Structure 1
Amino acid sequence: MKMTGVMPALVTPFDANGKIDFKSFEKLLHKLRADGVKGWVPCGSTGEYNALTAAERASVLKFVAEFANKDELLIAGTNAGSTWEVIEHTRCARELGYKTVLLSAPFYATPAVDELIRHYQSVLDAVDVEIVLYNYPPKVGVEVGLPVLEAFKDNPRVIGIKESSGNLLRAIDIRARFGDRYQVTNGSDDQTLDFYLWGATSWICGPANCMAKACVDLVNTIESGDWLAARDKMQVIYGAMSSLESGKFVQKVKYGCELAGTPVGLARQPLLELTAEEKAAFRRAMEPVIG
């Protein structure tokens, strides 16, 4: 797979009874497609995969796969807390038509480097998929570091890495050590311009759920080579991105969808609805983006 453009890390919409709301999901996907996204990444962190049952995760993957056009990229989030469970979710995704999966380190287990390398190799051995590694230390407590990339540099089925570390030095280090061997997809949303400068070629983007048009416009401007115009566009969305990165990411993205006219319900507990004050602050941050 060649990862390009903006790919939303999709929210999972819930109705008033806390069940997956596929009607709202379909409405959201149609809007995102109209706004120019290049593909779909369901069941990731923004999709609250950790709060879904295995059956719910499979239903989300199936729904998105059936919605997708043939020319749209499909990457399934199949992460879990143990290797055997990741393999089961990955097998399910493969059976549903996903040839590429996004995998962070298993949560809670905090594996050592050799354990993490064995984890990814076990998934590759068990299921015929490509893997996009996912570095998100704030969520899982473990860095998918350079030794892991070194271990898989000769394996063409490990195609890239999503960098959500918030550390620009990671992009610089990956480029310096591996050149263009790995596709770097940006996940540090408030540093998008910087990550593209240092080699990112796509953006798996949670905020795209509620501001896809602005995100797509930014990436298109970067790819055109007009970096000064891209800087100005980044400035427009920076306040919202900075707010998202400051905490309550999923709740803010879902509230942002409401502001953008595609409500998707609330997050599942333990995540609580934003307070009136938090909503007002995020609404102000979103004003430059949605008008």
Structure 2
Amino acid sequence: MQVNWKGVFPAVTTKLKDDGSLDQEAIKAGLNRLIDNGAGGVVMMGMVGENAQLTPDEKRTVLRIAVETVNGRVPVVSGLAETNTGSAIQFARDAEEIGVQGLMVFPGLTYKSDDRETVEFYRAIARSTKLGIMIYNNPRGYGVDMRPDLLEQLKGEANIVAIKEESYDTTRVTDIYNQFGDRFVVFCGVDDLVLESAALGVTGWVSGMANAVPKESVELLDLAVKGDFEKARKLYRVLTPLFHLDVHVKLVQYIKLAENITAGYSENLKAPRLKLEGEERQRIVAIIEKTMKDLKALS
């Protein structure tokens, strides 16, 4: 199955039991809910999926559950977040064997690579697998910026096909299209910049808060891609306070809390992350509940 790199690809939360182990039944149910609400693909174990906190065995188990559950209905893309090139290559090969259709590749974790090292890291992974690769560009989070001049050095790797653009600079979208045409598919990687990105031609979105509001997220992107910006703006204005939570350092906690309120899944997290408490929790709950109330009024 080839990845059709368009539509809403939720960055799926990894459901956990109270003891921190994988809640396999909840993972399956969550995937079915996202697909039933129109997800174009699913991204397992991105940042929202707590990739860096999972053990190697847990990561591969999550992928097996996803491939079996999805069963070809939409593409399954795996986050790849490793600390060294050797481990990254091994994970890419394992993911391909398990049966995923694509990889969303983080820069090497813990060490901030320079430009030459970054290019070589992505090149080595691309040459180790036949899977389509989405580069995860999040310079705020990881200190490495995949600028167009670095993409220029990687355009010869045929299976590097997409970039999750999370530099928070929408001019980057147009710069990439101007330099490369349709060579790279640009995905919005920031929930509260999706309408702006779609106005510039983006048709794909890796979304965290789509876990909580999948139907509305799909509707929003569809409206924008069709050019119905009047309706899209109305929906976006309601969703934006919720989407702002996707760009906070505690986005995983916020998204899991939102998913708990909207769909009933557990807020359990991998330590050192902890569930929200006190005033912070009350503030986030208020944002989520107001958004749901406003969505109901809009419909």
Per the normalisation by structure 1, the TM-score is: 0.95
Instruction: Give the 5 Å matches for 1:177-256.
Output: 177-256=179-258
Q: Work out whether residues 237 and 288 of structure 1, in 8 Å CA contact, stay in contact via their aligned partners in 2.
A: no
Q: Aligned partners of 2:216, 2:239: CA distance in 1, in Å?
A: 7
- 1:36–1:99 distance in 2 versus 1, CA, 3 Å: closer
Matched AA of 1:238: T
Q: Does 1:282 align with 2:284?
A: yes
* CA distance in 2 between partners of 1:194 and 1:83 (Å): 35
Aligned amino acid, residue 117 of structure 2: E
Q: Distance in 2 between matches of 1:161 and 1:26?
A: 27
Contact kept, 8 Å, 1:107 with 1:141, in 2: the verdict is no
Q: Distance in 2 between matches of 1:264 and 1:95?
A: 30
**Shift, 1:128, TM fit:** 2.0
The partner residue of 1:66 within 46, 65, 68 is: 68
Match of 2:88 in 1: 86
1:170 aligns with 2:172: yes
Match of 1:155 among 154, 157, 165: 157
Residues 10-21 of structure 1: matches in 2 within 5 Å?
Answer: 10-21=12-23
Does the 8 Å contact 2:78/2:95 carry over to 1? yes
Computed over aligned residues only, the root mean square deviation of the Cα atoms, in angstroms, reads: 1.4
Which letter does structure 1 place at the counterpart of 2:58? E
Where structure 1 has 5 or more consecutive residues not aligned to the other structure, the ranges are: none
Q: Residue by residue, what CA displacement relative to the aligned partner does 1:201-257 show, whole Å, maximum 9, x if unpaired?
A: 111111111111111110111122201211111111000111332331000000011
Q: Distance in 1 between matches of 2:15 and 2:4?
A: 28
2:64 & 2:262 partners in 1: Cα distance?
26
Contact residue 7 and residue 221 of structure 2 kept, 8 A:
yes
Asked whether the 8 Å contact 1:9–1:46 carries over to 2, the reply is yes
Q: 2:232 corresponds to which letter in structure 1?
A: A
Aligned mate of 2:77, from 72, 75, 87: 75
1:98 is matched with 100
The percent of aligned pairs where both chains have the same amino acid is 27
Matched residue SS, 1:260: helix
Structure 2 distance, partners of 1:113, 1:160, is: 19
Aligned to 1:24: 26
Mapped to 2, the partners of 1:273 and 1:161 lie a distance apart of 31
Between 1:48-57 and 1:125-134, the stretch displaced more is 125-134
Distance 1:100 1:153 in 2: 17
Whole-Å separation in 2 of the counterparts to 1:84 and 1:187: 27
Is it true that 1:120 corresponds to 2:122 in the alignment? yes
User: Residue 150 of structure 2: SS of its match in structure 1?
Assistant: helix
Contact 2:44 2:77 in 1 (8 A): yes
Deviations 1:45-84 (A, max 9, x none): 1100100010000000110011114241121112211111
2:43 is aligned to 41
Number of residue pairs matched?
Answer: 291
TM superposition shift of 1:167: 1.7
CA positional deviation for 1:5: 1.0
Amino acid at match of 1:45: M
Q: What is the DSSP-based 3-state SS (H/G/I as helix, E as strand, rest coil) of the residue aligned with 2:127?
A: helix
Contact 2:78/2:103, CA 8 A, preserved across alignment: yes
Supply the distance in 2 between the matched residues of 1:154 and 1:197 (Cα, whole angstroms): 28
Moved over 3 A (4+): none
Distance in 1 separating the partners of 2:143 and 2:6: 28
Tell me if the contact between 1:79 and 1:89 (Cα under 8 Å) persists in the aligned partners: no
Structure 2, unpaired ranges of 5+? 294-299
| 1:288 Cα deviation from its structure 2 partner | 4.4
CA drift of 1:152 comes to 1.9
Q: Deviations over 1:18-60 (max 9, x none)?
A: 1111111122122212211111110111100100010000000
In structure 2, give the amino acid aligned to 1:158: I
- CA contact under 8 A between 1:134 and 1:163: conserved in structure 2? yes
2 CA distance for matches of 1:168 and 1:134?
A: 15
